């Protein structure tokens, strides 16, 4: 496979965007959807695994922009049009720096910053609130919970198990662990999607050793320190899930919501939505929540 020339693709991207420089000289790509009118609120979207910011335009950001909210979408390091080894994160320090640099950049350009995490992006949203609580006015968490559906996941082959063990034991920074592709999965024809990850990526994002991450996925329970708020949340929280989500049962997402100690929180079930498939009409509750809270 020919490696992507991300720097060239980024240089030729003509749409609204911003670039953030990291402590180790990398460039992070921020896609931007400008609001239809001036608003004190901006939303920073953290994408899920395999993805990058672009698919969140038709899924979510364009609707919020039409409602007057400016939306930024961060491409994680090694994803989309951001620099970095595809499907790897070199260290927790790099992740922390990437998040704080991006939060600082966006906060300097808006009065009220709301972070929105979808699927794996929930970990980035929660970690952001842990790192920079004074900068964040609200939190939105979509399509994630501690309990994962395991009934539809195919049993890994011997070759897949061997790859995972090799990645854990020897080649921690090499993207060897493949994401199982399923019917209807978005991004299959998008070269900027990732479908292979390193053991180190999972360790960094979940905040635990690779063997523990492996056990977590095998047992279907997400036990990450970045999947709970260490202290009571004093900013508005919205948690949502599609009623057809194939990765997380609604009751599991509700249990996570109930576990959060927050001054103001709201739970939304989105009719007809799957894990990463949403209709444009479904974002009324989110738009109303933003208008009401901010």
Whether residue 152 has pLDDT greater than 60: no
- Distance of alpha carbon 46 from its chain centroid, rounded? 4
The answer to pTM > 0.85 is yes
Name the residue ranges covered by the structural domains of the chain: 6-151+225-293
pLDDT at 200 over 80: yes
The whole-number pLDDT of residue 148 equals 87
Is it the case that residue 199 has pLDDT exceeding 80? yes
Q: Give pLDDT tens digits for 18-50.
A: 999 999 999 999 999 999 998 999 999 999 999
Ranking 141-150, 185-194, 236-245 by mean pLDDT, the lowest is 185-194
- The dihedral built from the CA positions of residue 28, 34, 38 and 39, taken in this order, carries a sign that is negative
Homologous superfamily (CATH) of 6-151+225-293 is Alpha/Beta hydrolase fold, catalytic domain (3.40.50.1820)
């Amino acid at each position: 496979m020919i490696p992507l020339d991300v720097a060239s693709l980024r240089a030729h991207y003509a749409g609204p965007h911003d670039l953030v420089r990291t402590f180790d000289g990398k460039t992070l790509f921020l896609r931007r959807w400008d609001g239809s009118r001036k608003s004190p609120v901006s939303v920073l979207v953290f994408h899920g695994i395999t993805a990058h910011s672009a698919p969140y335009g038709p899924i979510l950001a364009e609707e919020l922009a039409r409602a007057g909210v400016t939306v930024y979408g961060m491409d994680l390091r090694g994803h989309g049009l951001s620099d970095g080894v595809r499907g790897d994160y070199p260290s927790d320090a790099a992740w922390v720096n990437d998040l704080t640099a991006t939060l600082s950049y966006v906060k300097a350009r808006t009065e009220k910053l709301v972070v929105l995490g979808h699927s794996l992006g929930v970990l980035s949203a929660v970690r952001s609130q842990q790192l920079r609580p004074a900068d964040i006015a609200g939190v939105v968490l979509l399509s994630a919970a501690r309990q994962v559906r395991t009934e539809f996941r195919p049993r890994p082959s011997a070759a897949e198990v061997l790859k995972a063990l090799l990645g854990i034991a020897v080649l921690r920074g090499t993207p060897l662990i493949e994401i199982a592709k399923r019917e209807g999965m978005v991004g299959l024809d998008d070269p900027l999607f990732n479908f292979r990850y390193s053991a180190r990526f999972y360790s960094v994002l979940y905040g635990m050793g690779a063997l523990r991450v492996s056990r977590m996925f095998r047992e279907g329970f997400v036990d990450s320190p970045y999947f709970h708020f260490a202290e009571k949340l004093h900013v508005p929280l919205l948690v949502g899930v599609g009623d057809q989500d194939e990765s997380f049962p609604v009751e599991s997402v509700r249990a996570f919501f109930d576990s959060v100690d927050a001054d103001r929180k709201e739970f939304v079930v989105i009719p007809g939505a799957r894990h990463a498939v949403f209709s444009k009409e479904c974002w009324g509750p989110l738009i109303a929540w933003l208008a009401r809270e901010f």
